[in-house]
Structure formats: structure tokens, C-alpha cells
Amino acid sequence: MIQTAPITTVMRALADPTRRAVFEQIVLSKEITVVELTRASTVTQGAVSQHLKALKQAGLVAERPEGRNVYYRAEPEGLAPLVDWMSHYGTFWRERFADLRTLLKEIDP
């Protein structure tokens, strides 16, 4: 069954448009630093760091320190709770559409 805590964390992390843009930038890069993310963004480095913290807590990004830099990369497994949730409701709607199709055929053969 669906676990609400991980889903809620992932959805909250991706609900913010700026955070989503940061996540998308990370996904498009193999690895990227905060400095590079800040250059590509319209927010401050502190704000980018806060967004990265939320993404990391949601399991959507991982970090790799190297010297004075920290490199961030996307963690596709972090999206699993969201994918599971969407799959669950996808099944729900497919069944409802099949029922509707049957009903419509009965009404108008």
C-alpha cells in the first residue's frame, strides 16, 4: 500500500517552483555545484542551499564533497514514492474508464 510520509515529503519538495527548477537543473547535469546552480538561478546561494537541503531530505539528490566543493546529483530512486502513488491512481482511473466504456456500450449499443 501507499506510504504517505515519503510521498508527502517528495511532493512538498517538488511543489515549490524554484526548488523544482533547481532539481531539474541537477537532473540535466551529471553533477553540479551550488555555485553553478546559483549562476543558473535567479535566487541567492543561500536560497539554493536551502532548496538543496529540502531535496536531499526528500531523497531526491545526493551530495559528494570534493575539496572545497560539494557536487550534487539526482537520485532517481527518490521519485519511487511518487511513481508508486501515480501508478496506484493510474490503475484506479483505468478501471473507472473501462467501467464507463462498458456502461456507454450498454446505453448505446
Model confidence band, residue 2 (pLDDT cutoffs 50, 70, 90): very low
Residue 94 has pLDDT above 90, yes or no: no
Q: Which residue has the cell 510521498?
A: 7
**Taking the complete model, does pTM exceed 0.75, yes or no?**
yes
| Whole-number pLDDT of residue 103 | 86
| Whole-number pLDDT of residue 5 | 59
Question: Judging by DSSP bridges, how do beta strands 61-66 and 32-33 pair with one another?
Answer: unpaired
| Whole-number pLDDT of residue 62 | 96
Residue 4 has pLDDT above 80, yes or no: no
Amino acid at 93: W
Amino acid at 4: T
Short-list 94, 72, 84, 67, CA closest to 4 = 84
Q: How does the average pLDDT of the chain come out, rounded? A: 90
pLDDT digits (tens, 9 = 90+) for 23-65: 999 999 999 999 999 998 889 999 999 999 999 999 999 999 9
Model confidence band, residue 95 (pLDDT cutoffs 50, 70, 90): confident
